[in-house]
Amino acid sequence: MVGYNPLCDSCLKLTTGSEDQTNLHQHARHNAQEAIALAKQRAQDFDTQAALERKTNEALRLAKGQIRLRDYEREQAEGAPLVDRMCYLFLRQVA
């Protein structure tokens, strides 16, 4: 900060300008900190949603596998033809 010299009017302007500059920097720093906090919160929300979707997909995949297994076991009990069992086993590996 430039000191005040009563003989120099521009010194008063520089002093005021320096304070304005400091105030501007403080506001910019505050805005940047808010933007960073918001970005962190959005990233956390995204990660939470992705984890939820991953768990949901895993549960659906497990449920479908259990249904296929139950159907297969039912077919085994009923004596399903060998070709149907082979197709089932192949489709199970593909899915």
> Which tens digit of pLDDT belongs to each residue from 59-76?
999 998 888 888 877 777
The pLDDT of residue 1 is above 50: no
Q: Cα 73–77–79 angle (5° rounding)?
A: 110
CA distances from 66 to 61, 75, 76 (A): 9, 14, 15
Considering the chain, what is the average pLDDT of its residues? 78
> Which tens digit of pLDDT belongs to each residue from 9-51?
544 444 455 678 889 999 999 999 999 999 999 999 999 999 9
Helices and strands per DSSP (H, E), number in the chain:
2, 0
Per-residue b/e over 60-70, b at no fewer than 16 CB within 10 Å? eeeeeeeeeee
